[in-house]
Each structure stands twice: as structure tokens, then as C-alpha cells.
Amino acid sequence: MKCLLFIFLLMMSCGGYAVDTYQLSDPKQQESYETLTKELRCLVCQNQTIADSNAELAGDLRRQVYEMLQQGKSREEIVQFMTDRYGDFVLYKPAFKGKTSVLWIAPVVFLLLGLITVFFFIRRKNAVANLHSDADALKIDIEKHKKIRSLLEKGDPS
Amino acid sequence: MGLNLKPTEIPSPFINKPAPDFSAPKLQTPEEKLTPADLKGQVWLFNVWASWCVSCRAEHPVLNQLAQQHAAVIVGLNYKDEPNDAKNWLDTLGNPYNVSIMDQDGRIGIDYGVYGVPETFVIDKKGLIRYKHTGPVTAEDVQQTFLPLIAKLQAEP
């Protein structure tokens, strides 16, 4: 029970709530603000976006996004500003390029490897099962033959 | 690769790029400002610190010792700190910095991609960032990394 309570408390502590959400007058900019802050990583907490985190740095980066949107900067310009300073790691969804290609391609490669393995595994299993049933059939045949022969030898009583 | 990497050490995109510009008030004399241009022609360390930063306390004696060797100019970036707390810290623990500048709202920090204090940049005579260290600098780091690098950069034109 104590253990459960402890785990529950640990789970509670994971929910960080960002307090200072900025409001932009233009609803389109507000939308950009909300998507951008959900795509940028809080580098202190690493597994949270800057929208989720209440770390000081996340707050500063939210302010930065807000100010740049107010200055009329585009999404691309803001993402460029962040990656120039913090590298690709700041993006929750990394861009597809040489350095990050392994990240994107590896899951597909592993899935294909898995499917190929499963395919061959099932094929082999089927082949073995067929072999077994052939052997069973053969066994029955031999037994039948024996029975027929013994019946013939004895002669049909009817 | 992989399991041996420290996820907290994010590769800096700044290596071999010019140190981002700033014009920031000095901690001890706020009416004076410092810019990276003032340091052209010198090898300098840019150490991000704060009085609220626990690891900075561990790093501080190492910096004090490094300062005594006069190998390079040491500039402090007093990051998101109260000036009075910062001055008290230097009075109590010693001041390894040739000069410290103030970044109260953390904007210079963002320009330098700072995400975990302390961080230390090594900047060459041309004003290019040549190395970045995240986390407290240890005596071992000074001997194995910083001093050899500083010597190399001092020898460059």
C-alpha cells in the first residue's frame, strides 16, 4: 500500500504546468505560438516541451517565441533561431537530414527485419507441420495394410 | 555512440563560429559595458555562473586556481542573478574573473545556447568559439583540456 502511494506520488510530480502563457492579439499568431512551444524541447528537463515545462529556461524560451511572433517573424525563422543556438536537439520532431536520417530510417528497417523474420519463422513451422502430417498418414497406411493383409490371409468368413 | 553518450551533454552548434554579440553592463561597474569586440586579440574564457547555482560553488575554487595562472582572460556571465547576491558571492569565495557582466533576463544566455549553469566557452583571438564545456569544470578538465587548448590558441596569430 505504501509502495503504491509512493508510485502515485511520483506520478503526480511528473505533471508540470506552465503558468505564464502568452496571449497574442492575432489568433493566427496565437496558433503559431501554441504549436511552436509544443515542438520545442525544454533543454533542462529534456523530456518536456517548453509549453509543458515550468523550468526557468522554458519560460525564457516561451518569452522569446512570443516576442519573435510579435515582431512578425515566421515559424521558420523562429525554428532557425532556436536550432542555431541549441542544435537539432531543441526540436521535438527532428528535421530529416544526413545527421538525423538514422533516427527516421531505423524504425522502418527494424520493422522490415521483424516482418521478414516472422515470415520465415511461419514458413518453416508450416513445413515442419506438413512433414509431421505426412508421416502420420504413412503410419496409418502401414497399419491399414497390415490389417488388410491379415484379413486376406485369414479369408473372409462371411 | 549510443549508450555511452551523456544525454545531458548537447552538442553545441557554436564550435568554430563567432561568439554571439552582446553589450552588457559590468557587475562591479554597471555604468560600463562590455562587448566581445573589446576582447578581440585575446584568448578568453566565458564562464556562465550564478550565486543560486549549486554546481558553480563546486567549480569556483578550480576557477580561482586557473585565474592565478594567468593563462587567459576569464570573463564571467552572471546569469539570471541578483547583482548584490553575485557581488557577495565573489567577496566571500574569491573573484577569478577579470570582469563579470550581468545577464539578468537570460537573453545573452539564450544567444549562447546556455541550458545548464555552469557552462564555459573558450574563445580565440579572432573571436571564434573553439570549445564549450557544460557543467562544472574540474581540476582534471583544466589540466587535460583547458590549459593545452589555451596554449594552442595563444600560439595562433
| The 3-state secondary structure of A91-151, one letter per residue | ECCCCCCHHHHHHHHHHHHHHHHHHHHHHHHHHHHHHHHHHHHHHHHHHHHHHHHHHHHHH
pLDDT tier for residue B3 given thresholds of 50, 70 and 90 = low
Q: Is the pLDDT of residue B137 over 70?
A: yes
- Residue A14 is predicted with a pLDDT of 47
Instruction: Please name the member of A44, A46, A85 whose beta carbon is closest to the beta carbon of B7.
Output: A46
- Residue B9 is predicted with a pLDDT of 64
Asked if residue A69 and residue A58 are part of one domain, the reply reads: yes
Look at residues A69, A95, A121 and tell me which one is the last residue of a structural domain: A95
- Taking CB atoms and an 8 Å limit, are A85 and B110 in contact across chains? yes
B74's enclosing H/E stretch is: strand B73-79
Look at residues A95, A128, A146 and tell me which one is the last residue of a structural domain: A95
Q: How many interchain CB pairs under 8 A, A with B?
A: 38
Please state, for a pLDDT cut of 90, what percent of chain A lies above it: 23
Please state, for a pLDDT cut of 70, what percent of chain B lies above it: 93
Q: Is residue A55 assigned to a domain?
A: yes
- Taking CB atoms and an 8 Å limit, are A43 and B110 in contact across chains? no
A123 versus A3: the higher-pLDDT residue is: A123
- Residue B18 is predicted with a pLDDT of 93
Asked if residue A74 and residue A125 are part of one domain, the reply reads: no
> How many CB atoms are located within 10 Å of the residue A85 CB?
22
Residue numbers in A near B109 (CB within 8 A): 57, 60
pLDDT (mean) for A6-32: 69
Nearest to B26 by CA among B97, B92, B93, B85: B97
- Residue A67 is predicted with a pLDDT of 93
pLDDT (mean) for A111-136: 85
Q: Which residue of B has its CA nearest to A57?
A: B115
Nearest to A70 by CA among A103, A113, A110, A25: A25
ipTM of the complex: 0.82
Look at residues A56, A76, A95 and tell me which one is the last residue of a structural domain: A95
- Residue B78 is predicted with a pLDDT of 96
Sorted by where each starts, the structural domains of chain B and their CATH numbers stand as 42-155 (3.40.30.10)
- pLDDT digits 0-9 by tens, B67-119: 999 999 999 999 999 999 999 999 999 999 999 999 999 999 999 999 888 99
pLDDT (mean) for A7-25: 62
Matching residue, cell 515442419: A128
Whether B84 has its CB under 8 Å from any CB of chain A: the answer is: no
